[in-house]
Structures are given as C-alpha cells and as structure tokens.
Amino acid sequence: MQRCKECYEPFLYKELFLSGLTGYKPISCVKCNKKHTVTLSSRISSSLLIVAFPMSLSMYLLKDLIQINPVVIYLCIVIPTLFILPFVLRYKLEQNHKRG
Ligand SMILES: [Zn+2]
C-alpha cells in the first residue's frame, strides 16, 4: 500500500478506493494532513485499465457470447478492476501554491 510522502503513514485502502471512484479526488494524510494528488501517468494507466481493457475484452468475448449484452460483460470486468485501482494509482504531494 502506498504511503504518505511526508511522514510515511500508509494510506487506507478505503481512502484510495474512494479517491479512484470520485475521479481521482486528492487525499489527505490522516497523520500529517498533507494533501496528495494522483499523478498524470497513473491516471492514464488507470483509464486504460477501466476503459480500454474491459472494452476490448468485452468486444472480444462478444464474438462467442452474442446472447449477452456487451454492457453486462463490460461491468463484470470493470467492477472487479475498480478494486485493483488503489494499487495502480500513484500519489504525489500537492503543490503548495494554488493555481488560478
Ligand atoms: Zn503524512
């Protein structure tokens, strides 16, 4: 599990999971209260994981399982994938200065 960049307090799985679900919301360390934001590269890899990968897999499975709605297949792949997100997302300390 990832840790706070400031005090090395580990983040809670629940916090990271909710952050992923709410569009990469920044999280604060429970101990030192420093804000952490999701890095751009991990946003890209997570979107590949929850969009591109299940989409292509459901399209591929569709060839053999025509009677099942592709949306159902997609959700069956995406829902378990969401639980892996906390391990995929990488956090960095938020910059001190707020931008425009
Ligand atoms: Zn901390």
Instruction: Report the separation in Å between the CA atom of 61 and the middle of ligand 1, taken as the mean of its atom positions.
Output: 44
- Domain presence at residue 1: no
- Domain presence at residue 21: yes
Q: Could you tell me the residue range of the domain that residue 77 belongs to?
A: 13-93
Give the side-chain half-sphere CA count within 13 A for 70.
11
pLDDT of residue 26: 95
- Domain presence at residue 19: yes
- Domain presence at residue 8: no
- Domain presence at residue 7: no
- Domain presence at residue 31: yes
Q: What are phi and psi of 79, to 5 degrees?
A: -60, -50
| DSSP assignments along 15-64, one per residue | HHHHHHHTTS--EE-TTT--EEEE-HHHHHHHHIIIIIHHHHHHHHHHTT
- Domain presence at residue 5: no
pLDDT of residue 24: 92
**Taking the chain (100 residues) in consecutive chunks of 10 residues, what is each chunk's mean pLDDT?**
93 94 93 95 92 84 71 85 92 74
CB atoms within 10 A of CB 66: 9
Quote the number of domains for the chain. Answer: 1
Instruction: Report the separation in Å between the CA atom of 7 and the middle of ligand 1, taken as the mean of its atom positions.
Output: 4
Query: What's the pTM?
Result: 0.78
Instruction: Report the separation in Å between the CA atom of 88 and the middle of ligand 1, taken as the mean of its atom positions.
Output: 20
Instruction: Report the separation in Å between the CA atom of 92 and the middle of ligand 1, taken as the mean of its atom positions.
Output: 12
**Can you read off the two tokens belonging to residue 86?**
């906390």
Are the C-beta atoms of 26 and 94 separated by less than 8 Å?
A: yes
Instruction: Report the separation in Å between the CA atom of 10 and the middle of ligand 1, taken as the mean of its atom positions.
Output: 8
- Domain presence at residue 37: yes
